[in-house]
Amino acid sequence: MWIEKDNRLCCKLKFIDFKEAMIFINCMAELADEMDHHPEFTSAYNRVFIVLTTHSAGDIITEKDRIMAQKIDEILEKLNSTR
């Protein structure tokens, strides 16, 4: 699901509908605040595109990004298990 491209971790997600996408985004926002590591993302209806880099390291991928990607995957697993 995560693709490493141009020194960025990228992920494209598709949800059932807008509401489900927003639930995911809100969960991701809570995680970002907890980790003090805020991803770039865009949303259009039921799609979410996420880009992870560490700005303080010169916009490159660091261990912090890999940990965040793993935790985002855990959020997705949890949301999928409640369907």
Q: SS3 helix, strand, coil % of the chain, rounded to 5? A: 50, 30, 25
| Tens of each residue's pLDDT in the chain, 83 residues | 899 999 999 999 999 999 999 999 999 999 999 999 999 999 999 999 999 999 999 999 999 999 999 999 999 999 988 76
Q: Does domain 3-81 have CATH number 3.20.20.80?
A: no
Domain locations in the chain as residue ranges: 3-81
Burial (Cβ within 10 Å: 0-12, 13-18, ≥19) of residue 28: buried
Which pLDDT does position 29 carry in this prediction?
97
* 81: its two tokens: 């298990």
DSSP 57: G
Q: What is the total residue count of the chain?
A: 83
pTM of the model: 0.93
